[in-house]
Structure 1
Amino acid sequence: MKEINGKTARWFKLLYGLLSLLMLLALFAFSYATWSNVKQQAYESLTPHNQSLTSVVKRFFIHQEALLGELAESITVSSSRDSIIQTRLNDVLRATPQMRVLAVLDTQGSIVATTGNIHTLEWLDLFDNDESTIGRPFRPTFVGENILPVRKVITNSSGVKTGYVVAAYRLLGNDAIWQEAEEAESKRRSMIIGDDGRVYISYPESDTFWQSFVSLKVEDEFLNTLSELTQKAGEWHTRDVQYQDEQLLVTASFIQDYRFYIVSGIQSADLFSRWLERMKYVALAVLIFLIVGLVVFRIILTRAARFESARNVAEHNVFKLSRAIEQSPSSVIVTDEYWLIEYANNRLSDGTESLIKLDSGQVLLEHFPHSLLKTDVAAISENLLHGTNWYGERRAKEQKQWFSFSISGMTNDAGHVTNHVIVTQDITERKQVEVRLFKQANYDALTGLPNRRRTNELLTETLKTAWQENKRVAVLYMDVDNFKQINDTFGHMLGDQMLQLIAVRLQQAVADSGTACHMSGDEFLVSIVFDAEQEVVDLADNIMSVMKQPVLLEGKKLFISVSIGISRYPEDSADVSNLLKHADIALYESKNQGRRCYSFFSQELDDKNKRKVELESEIRNALANKELFMVYQTKNRISSGEVYGFEALMRWQSPRLGFVSPEEFISAAEEIGVIDQLGEFALYEACRDLQKFQFHATQPLAMAVNVSMSQLTNSDIVGTVRKVLQDTGLNPSVLELEITESMLAQRLEEVQPVLNELLSLGVSLSIDDFGTGYSSLSYLTRFPVSALKIDRCFIMDMVDNRSDATLTHTVITMAHKLGLKVVAEGIEDEDQLALLRVYGCDLGQGYYFTKPLTYDQMTAHLKSQQETPDWAI
């Protein structure tokens, strides 16, 4: 038995020795493969990083050089201080967050204008030669930030250099050149190096204070290495190099335009740490395996055959589980029921370069980040007691990190929780992405203000709070007056700059009293919680006042004004959509009042708006339903009283709205674009009826039809009149088109060609409501009018008011001197008629002769030929 045991022992030693050798060889092979994999991963991370970094740096310098070039072209350096230059510098500085200081220098380096004060000996000394665009980096003070100077030459119209535009850019930190290329790799070294070896930017900064303060240069050997790595454009290679006592694996690219090397590198020590991190648990597992094997073989040698298969399977599973846990990117921790750590894979970073190390026996809740769970222990225990897992996300404010925690319980046969399994992940990057997505979805990219979607959410929350606290809320809806004209005249880029400026001014006006939002285009909204209505009035006045200040954009002095509509909670509405709708109705009223003002919503405004909407809806079908009809009022000769002609007037009797005045439905028709159809209907009806009226008269009769400015400017009025004359066979000489004086005076140049075409058809033109306009009378000599109609406001008080009588007499005399007929409008009694007869007025129109009559009524009137109707006595 001893012999057998001795042989068995020898075989065991041999087997154990071979097994140990194989395990060591396997460990060596695995370590070599792991090292190769670590280097390969480092290379695969360096190349895209360098490509991205090169693109960011190149794009930044190209953009800033172009920006300074445009600024230099727009500046003229003079001996006196130029406020326009200062304003331009301030505008550019505000639009460029990376810019620390912007200045204009003369050719001797003296400062002409500057946006700030950076302590440097001389600006021009920072540039190696007169042709340099990018200067040497420097620190203004010992504890200041790294600054990179960039300049562009300013020349006069003759091409002579008169100065420089110099800008200083932050290199590192928030709102700096390096911000777009923020490092995700904690131990990666990134640098911008000139082809002369000077280090412009190094991230992270040097550990040595003097090295970070002085613009250092790299060794020639390092510079030669960079040249070799970038010999072929578009190809990336890596190489191990020595830099400042650091062994680095680097790759580089070369920006030809600026003679910059863009360098990305990873410390070899970091690669070794990664390799060691992957290897240590494998090596430990191998060691444990050998020790366990030795013990097992010695103790259960006689039972090895029986349990060998089961042991191999178990060991293989344990090995896989161990590797899976150790290589997991998540932190896996096992504690007992009292939160004492039994196992931790230590895969969690503390937000710096270090991993959070947890040892067995420690209380998990006493260590970051699991200390964030102290207030959740009761809820966690409750979930685990009922057999469910617990999940939560918590933020460490000081470290600015987010963590997710998933906790499950391990129970014994009695169902009692004996262990906690905690899986922890750093979700900071995911949360940052969520924040960016939230900002993109809820805030306007141009102005930075909440957009329409976010505005609705904020208003909903505000109304809810106001309801709970019994407060009042005001909504001020505004848009910029004539903004489309600014866009069309100066371009959308300047328009966008103006919107940004308006947003800034609006925030200044509102301050902490409310919330400013950008709805869309040139529309903005402010909401405030208030007690007294005077607060709303004061805010509206403040906004109007702030906006009135002129603004200088790209050398152009522009004036801004806004129109505002105001609705209030709860008196105007209790929900967001209606508050916005009512504020929009009030805004429309402000525009109707001439803009540059504000209006409060009221029930009268709402009724007026509803009436307008109903009119616009009903007028579309009024023609088809034959609700529109024509009436006629005679024009009589002042001398004899006989009928000379008619004025055609349109009326609308709506089954739903009742009688609608012409002022209402004509305005509605113009707004919705159906005025052309109404005008064509009026022309056809008037011309047809005139043909019929002619049978009851012994002399030719004339027909006057009103034409709106919308018909003259936005439709083919010439074609319409030509077609009506052709279809009805009416002699063009008896058709007279009346145009309101105020409209003609405002837009004579625009409509002059159309009027000439109408005259070429043979029709005559007359001016309606003469005397109510506000332009020069010189247009009478340019416009071939055949008649003037004196407005009724001068006729009605003419008998008792000497001024009106004198003005009427003067107009009649002037018109006759110009060869024009004169029609007096609104004659209602014999005295007015007698005075007009003395003044020599040609024609009269008014209730003294006839009121507006339908076709049948006018036919009866012509038959009776009553000089003065009974109802007019």
Structure 2
Amino acid sequence: MTLDRSKTKSWFQFLYGLLSILMLLALLAFGFATWKDVEVQANNTLLPHNATLSSVVGRFFQHQDKLLGGLASSILSEQNEDGVIQTRLNDVLLATPQMRVLAVIDIKGRVLATTGNLQTLEWRDLFDAEQQTIGRPFRPTFVSETLLPMRKAILNEKGAKLGYVVAAYRLLGNNAIWQEAEESERNRRSLVVGDDGRVYLSYPESDTFWQSFVSSKVEDDFLNRLKELAQDKGRSASSNVSYQDEELLITASRLDEYGLFIVSGIQNTDLLSLWLERMKFVTLSVLIFLAAGLLVFRVILHRATKFESARNEAESNVFKLSKAIDQSPSSVIVTDEHWVVEYANKRLSGGSEEPIQIESGNALLDSFPHNLLQAEVKAISEHLAHGGSWYGERRAKEQKLWFSFSISSMHNDKGNVNNYVIVTQDITERKQAEVRLYKQANFDALTGLPNRRRTHDLLGEALKSAWKNSLNVAVLYMDVDNFKQINDTFGHLLGDQMLQLIAVRLQQIVGQDAIACHMSGDEFLVFMNFESDDDVIAMAEKIMDVMKQPVLLESKRLFISVSVGVSRYPEDSDDVLGLLKHADIALYESKNKGRRCYSFFSKELDARNKRKVELETEIRHALTNKELFMVYQTKNLIGNKEVYGFEALMRWQSPRLGFVSPEEFITAAEEIGVIDKLGEFALMQACMDLKKYQMLVSQTLTMAVNVSMHQLTNSDIVETVKHVIEETGINPSVLELEITESLLAQSLEEVQPVLNRLLELGVSLSIDDFGTGYSSLSYLTRFPVSALKIDRCFVKDMVENRSDATLTHTVITMAHKLGLRVVAEGIEDEDQLALLRVYGCDIGQGYFFTKPLNFNDMSTHLKGRQEKPDWAI
């Protein structure tokens, strides 16, 4: 019976397989013939389309060539004036709907007459060759329409080029070149390609079929195929090509007089869609037939194979279960209801190479490691009596091993327990791995202290306890002063040893009174409960006193110090992140104070920090948003009060922050690295305004611009100044760069070569705020300066203060002996001016002459300057 059923099954399988193969072969033959028919139809469509397209495009270019040539001849022959030329251009533009703009340019590319709004277009750059008639397509802006340029030379009687008539034509849309081609076929693609592979026209524009012709060329293989297809002028040919990861069917012809290929194409995906449309009904019919045959076959064989399959599956499951239990890495034991072993797979090692012997008929709880459950067996039995399972993990202390036990019960027909199944695993390695992972995740490997992650958890627990018990918590955030210098000088190995020593000292300091943590690098944290700020101060001072003790590492005696920032719960914040953030702000304040100190967080400190962040954020956009502007204060001759020049001063009026003082925003700009842009803006604007001021007076004026030390040491100030001089066209001798004395004295060796290169440009240099810094004749004689500027603090009180007067007189005399001019700042009244005149000071500056004025007010002052303007202070 089984043999007959097997033969019947094989016979039906053979018939069904043979019929399926024949049907599929017929379907393949029909599909191949259909595909060839689709290709023939597509080819018959492309060839006439390409011929028509070539004719239309060729006629258009020929017509525009003659039109531009005639316009060029008429412009030369009639010697038209500008107004007549403009009228002629406008007439031609109105008569040519495809034309976007028409212009006349000279041989250097300068526009002599134009229509439209493309007057600033660089026409010559659109043509790659001198004799080229058709240029590269372009877009005046990113979102505007695409244009194609053409030109015709204007020749004199001797054939020399005087200029060009140039025009730009719309490619796509209404009144465009492509409208003449009457493109209507949705799936057909068209392209105009130059001999160099550049795409001149594309319809439709599509990144998935033809790339944007503004930015790409066709590949060399594609261009070579076009040359092959268009080499026989008497016929057109089609070919399958691979282009941009797509398979295409194209035909091409060539316009020799313009060096252009006219390409028509259809994607093979479109041909495939047409083929699938024709094939779908035939394919569906074949699939329905095969599915119906398969269904009949399955119904016939189902009953014959059902019993055999069920039996084989049961046997297989039993075999698999037996193998799984035998091969399981876990110990699987079956006991009766009294915990007497009936079966054991002997897979439990118990930490030794030999497995633990658990024999059938023995009490399970008398053998290791199951004896760990003896005290709980009653509770486990009661739990399992109600169904479910029990799981537990137990540790054998003597053997230092861990085991997991998973126990389930089997019930008889009456619902009583008749067997227990115990699965036991040695999980010692897993437990050890968990301990290692916990340490790695929560403790720093270098110092052994809680890491940043664990610190968050511990501090969070401390805050919860403090909230319940109404306690205060202080967070002391600290880092090692100049630790980077230690690393760079002695190496990271010694640096790591120092961090380990600091961790040991910190633990000894805090003892049981606080918790010490290692946040990262050289940053540590201590948090503690406290009753008053004196407790926190005592801890901070103790930390700093112990840390400043010398360290002996690798025979090197090193001295270290720490800076500390303190925040308090609940006074400063009631959450972990807030306390850490505020402690970090306080730490930054300690750094600003000069290190080796502690600082408490306060609202004033927070406000100052937020102000700094706002400044740094807003200053990045201030120049772009034109919030920065220049004001000018005159520098007048002491003898006759005539205007000698100006000092340029930058101002910032922020929409969000209001007026910001130069000291604030210049410091912020230096810290975030945008001072170079501000300095370049000040130089450029001051020189541009100086040229305008110079036109208002007859005498030569100078302009003084402040230069920061950051610009002299961290930027190419020489190239910046050179660019400004070339861009504005000013005489470099009228530009004076002012450098603050204290900054100069600190970096003289570094900036000396830069100053010499600036002098080579022809500009002059002066020292600002002389007398307030590190005044020294030794560097003054080396510094290539032409003027000294006496600080206003000496001028302000010199009439009443004899010491200030003597010092001012001495500086003026000394400067004159060295051949330097002297500028006195802060002149506010006639008495100061008179005394400076007696001392022989050269130039004065201050509210006595003018306050800082914007460009318009200073222009008004120069135009109608009185002896002392009404608004002068």
Q: Which bracket does the TM-score occupy, shorter chain normalised?
A: 0.5 to 0.7
- 1: distance between equivalents of 2:734 and 2:319? 109
- Structure 1 residue 451: deviation in Å? 2.8
The letter of the residue matching 2:646 is F
SS at match of 2:695: helix
- 2: distance between equivalents of 1:843 and 1:623? 32
- 2: distance between equivalents of 1:827 and 1:386? 101
SS at match of 1:819: coil
- 1: distance between equivalents of 2:404 and 2:849? 92
After superposition, the C-alpha distances for 1:319-347 in whole angstroms (9 at most, x for unaligned) are 99999979876455556657677777887
- Structure 1 residue 841: deviation in Å? 2.3
Alignment-derived partner of residue 502 in structure 2: 502
The letter of the residue matching 1:544 is M
Alignment-derived partner of residue 461 in structure 1: 461
* Aligned CA distance change for structure 1 residues 353 and 533 (closer, same or farther; 3 Å): farther
- 2: distance between equivalents of 1:810 and 1:377? 104
- 2: distance between equivalents of 1:685 and 1:320? 88
- Structure 1 residue 618: deviation in Å? 1.7
- 2: distance between equivalents of 1:670 and 1:712? 12
Matches within 5 A, 1:201-280: none
* Aligned CA distance change for structure 1 residues 754 and 557 (closer, same or farther; 3 Å): farther
- Structure 1 residue 691: deviation in Å? 1.4
Alignment-derived partner of residue 723 in structure 2: 723
Larger CA deviation: 367-376 vs 660-669 = 367-376
Same amino acid, percent of matched pairs: 78
- 1: distance between equivalents of 2:382 and 2:735? 94
Whether the 8 Å contact between 1:631 and 1:650 is mirrored in structure 2 is yes
Alignment-derived partner of residue 584 in structure 2: 584
SS at match of 2:525: strand
The letter of the residue matching 1:543 is I
Matches within 5 A, 1:40-439: 330-332=330-332, 369-370=369-370, 373=373, 380-381=380-381, 383-397=383-397, 399-439=399-439
Alignment-derived partner of residue 809 in structure 1: 809
* Aligned CA distance change for structure 1 residues 362 and 797 (closer, same or farther; 3 Å): farther
- Structure 1 residue 510: deviation in Å? 2.9
Alignment-derived partner of residue 641 in structure 2: 641
* Aligned CA distance change for structure 1 residues 471 and 338 (closer, same or farther; 3 Å): farther
Whether the 8 Å contact between 1:455 and 1:517 is mirrored in structure 2 is yes
Structure 2 portions without partners, runs of 5+: 1-316
SS at match of 1:696: coil
- 2: distance between equivalents of 1:804 and 1:341? 109
* Aligned CA distance change for structure 1 residues 670 and 320 (closer, same or farther; 3 Å): closer
- 2: distance between equivalents of 1:840 and 1:637? 11
- Structure 1 residue 707: deviation in Å? 0.6
Alignment-derived partner of residue 742 in structure 2: 742
- Structure 1 residue 718: deviation in Å? 0.3
The letter of the residue matching 1:834 is A
Larger CA deviation: 814-823 vs 625-634 = 814-823
Alignment-derived partner of residue 663 in structure 1: 663
- 1: distance between equivalents of 2:798 and 2:527? 54
Larger CA deviation: 754-763 vs 325-334 = 325-334
- 1: distance between equivalents of 2:768 and 2:835? 21
- 2: distance between equivalents of 1:536 and 1:377? 55
After superposition, the C-alpha distances for 1:639-677 in whole angstroms (9 at most, x for unaligned) are 322222111000111112211111111111112211111
Alignment-derived partner of residue 859 in structure 1: 859
Whether the 8 Å contact between 2:350 and 2:426 is mirrored in structure 1 is no
Alignment-derived partner of residue 800 in structure 1: 800
Alignment-derived partner of residue 481 in structure 2: 481
SS at match of 2:799: coil
Whether the 8 Å contact between 2:481 and 2:596 is mirrored in structure 1 is yes
Whether the 8 Å contact between 1:642 and 1:867 is mirrored in structure 2 is no
After superposition, the C-alpha distances for 1:3-55 in whole angstroms (9 at most, x for unaligned) are xxxxxxxxxxxxxxxxxxxxxxxxxxxxxxxxxxxxxxxxxxxxxxxxxxxxx
- Structure 1 residue 694: deviation in Å? 1.7
- 2: distance between equivalents of 1:833 and 1:578? 57
SS at match of 1:589: helix
After superposition, the C-alpha distances for 1:734-772 in whole angstroms (9 at most, x for unaligned) are 111111111111111111111111111111111112222
Alignment-derived partner of residue 188 in structure 1: none
- 1: distance between equivalents of 2:835 and 2:368? 103
- 1: distance between equivalents of 2:357 and 2:529? 51
* Aligned CA distance change for structure 1 residues 386 and 838 (closer, same or farther; 3 Å): farther
Count residues in correspondence.
560
- Structure 1 residue 720: deviation in Å? 0.3
- 2: distance between equivalents of 1:399 and 1:801? 92
- 2: distance between equivalents of 1:738 and 1:362? 101
The letter of the residue matching 2:465 is T
- 1: distance between equivalents of 2:501 and 2:762? 55
SS at match of 1:449: coil
Alignment-derived partner of residue 537 in structure 1: 537
After superposition, the C-alpha distances for 1:289-344 in whole angstroms (9 at most, x for unaligned) are xxxxxxxxxxxxxxxxxxxxxxxxxxxx9999999979876455556657677777
Larger CA deviation: 763-772 vs 433-442 = 433-442
- 1: distance between equivalents of 2:726 and 2:537? 60
- Structure 1 residue 716: deviation in Å? 0.6
- 2: distance between equivalents of 1:395 and 1:630? 79
The letter of the residue matching 1:710 is H
Larger CA deviation: 624-633 vs 456-465 = 456-465
Larger CA deviation: 348-357 vs 667-676 = 348-357
Alignment-derived partner of residue 760 in structure 2: 760
* Aligned CA distance change for structure 1 residues 355 and 545 (closer, same or farther; 3 Å): farther
Alignment-derived partner of residue 551 in structure 2: 551
After superposition, the C-alpha distances for 1:137-180 in whole angstroms (9 at most, x for unaligned) are xxxxxxxxxxxxxxxxxxxxxxxxxxxxxxxxxxxxxxxxxxxx
* Aligned CA distance change for structure 1 residues 375 and 623 (closer, same or farther; 3 Å): farther
Alignment-derived partner of residue 685 in structure 2: 685
After superposition, the C-alpha distances for 1:754-811 in whole angstroms (9 at most, x for unaligned) are 1111111111111112222146442111111122222222222333333333332332
Larger CA deviation: 517-526 vs 847-856 = 517-526
Alignment-derived partner of residue 848 in structure 2: 848
SS at match of 1:434: helix
- Structure 1 residue 409: deviation in Å? 1.8
SS at match of 1:625: coil
Whether the 8 Å contact between 1:736 and 1:764 is mirrored in structure 2 is yes
Alignment-derived partner of residue 631 in structure 1: 631
The letter of the residue matching 2:840 is G
Alignment-derived partner of residue 696 in structure 2: 696
- 1: distance between equivalents of 2:691 and 2:585? 46
- 2: distance between equivalents of 1:770 and 1:363? 101
Alignment-derived partner of residue 650 in structure 1: 650
* Aligned CA distance change for structure 1 residues 439 and 409 (closer, same or farther; 3 Å): same
The letter of the residue matching 1:835 is L
Alignment-derived partner of residue 598 in structure 1: 598
- 2: distance between equivalents of 1:803 and 1:339? 108
- 1: distance between equivalents of 2:362 and 2:529? 52
- 2: distance between equivalents of 1:466 and 1:396? 39
The letter of the residue matching 2:632 is Y
- Structure 1 residue 627: deviation in Å? 0.9
- 1: distance between equivalents of 2:804 and 2:560? 41
The letter of the residue matching 2:631 is V
The letter of the residue matching 1:427 is I
Larger CA deviation: 451-460 vs 352-361 = 352-361
- 1: distance between equivalents of 2:578 and 2:357? 58
Larger CA deviation: 664-673 vs 836-845 = 836-845
Alignment-derived partner of residue 516 in structure 1: 516
* Aligned CA distance change for structure 1 residues 329 and 654 (closer, same or farther; 3 Å): closer
- Structure 1 residue 560: deviation in Å? 1.8
- 1: distance between equivalents of 2:469 and 2:339? 44
- Structure 1 residue 583: deviation in Å? 2.2
Q: Let me know the Cα RMSD of the aligned residues.
A: 3.4
* Aligned CA distance change for structure 1 residues 530 and 428 (closer, same or farther; 3 Å): farther
- 2: distance between equivalents of 1:862 and 1:320? 105
- 2: distance between equivalents of 1:394 and 1:864? 100
The letter of the residue matching 2:484 is K
SS at match of 1:594: coil
Whether the 8 Å contact between 1:849 and 1:867 is mirrored in structure 2 is no
- Structure 1 residue 419: deviation in Å? 4.5
* Aligned CA distance change for structure 1 residues 386 and 717 (closer, same or farther; 3 Å): farther
- 2: distance between equivalents of 1:869 and 1:553? 72
After superposition, the C-alpha distances for 1:707-726 in whole angstroms (9 at most, x for unaligned) are 11111111110000011011
SS at match of 2:387: coil
The letter of the residue matching 1:754 is V
